[in-house]
């Protein structure tokens, strides 16, 4: 990659970060939005009214402590309710409240409107190309993250083995 391309890419990434508030809804952070979104999608797909926290952890690709912390905030806001799984007393299930469903629907409507405006500016064909490239970027970044995580594990193991 040429130096000028690197500069342009870094500038675009900075701009994307600056524009992240587009998905924000009053009273709902971006992380909370995505957690509620994935939760609602999973519940609708499964035809259920609650799900295990571990399943939410898997479908959001978020650590269990982060999911648990976010659920605590969402529960305090009245958007979710946690309960003990009657089939497995060690397992906790989480349900979306009507207020949580309304909050996610409000946030989704805002996102839909924004994405429609974006498509009007870019055009349908460019929008499809953008989505395809961003999916490829996401996959490449995930792969690089895994490679770096592997290197960090190897460094940690080597360092541990050198210690007396």
Per-residue pLDDT of the chain (164 residues; tens, 9 = 90+): 788 888 877 777 777 766 665 566 677 887 888 899 999 999 999 999 999 998 998 888 888 899 999 999 999 999 999 998 787 788 889 999 999 999 999 888 888 888 888 899 999 999 899 888 988 888 888 888 888 887 777 777 776 677 66
Give me the pLDDT at residue 141, please.
Answer: 84
Q: Are strands 88-96 and 80-85 parallel, antiparallel or unpaired?
A: antiparallel
Q: What is the sign, positive or negative, of the torsion defined by CA atoms of 58, 28, 41, 13?
A: negative
Give me the pLDDT at residue 82, please.
Answer: 93
Give me the pLDDT at residue 113, please.
Answer: 87
Report residue 60 as tokens: 């959001």
**Residues 93, 71: contact at Cβ < 8 Å?**
no
Give me the pLDDT at residue 164, please.
Answer: 64
Give me the pLDDT at residue 39, please.
Answer: 94
Q: The pTM is what?
A: 0.70
* Cα separation, 67 vs 28, whole angstroms: 15
Give me the pLDDT at residue 75, please.
Answer: 96
Residue 103: closest CA among 14, 36, 51, 9: 36
């Amino acid at each position: 990659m040429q130096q000028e391309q690197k500069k342009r890419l870094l500038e675009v990434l900075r701009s994307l970060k600056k524009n992240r508030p587009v998905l924000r809804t009053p009273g709902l952070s971006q992380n909370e939005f995505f957690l509620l979104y994935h939760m609602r999608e999973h519940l609708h797909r499964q035809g259920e009214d609650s799900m295990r926290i571990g399943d939410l952890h898997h479908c959001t690709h978020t650590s269990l402590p982060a999911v648990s912390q976010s659920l605590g905030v969402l529960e305090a806001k009245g958007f979710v309710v946690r309960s003990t799984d009657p089939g497995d007393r060690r397992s906790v299930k989480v349900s979306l409240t009507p207020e949580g469903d309304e909050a996610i629907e409000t946030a989704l409507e805002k996102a839909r409107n924004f994405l429609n405006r974006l498509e009007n500016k870019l055009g349908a064909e460019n929008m499809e190309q953008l989505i395809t490239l961003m999916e490829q970027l996401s996959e490449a970044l995930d792969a690089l993250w895994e490679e770096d995580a592997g290197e960090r594990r190897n460094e940690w193991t080597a360092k541990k083995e050198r210690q007396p």
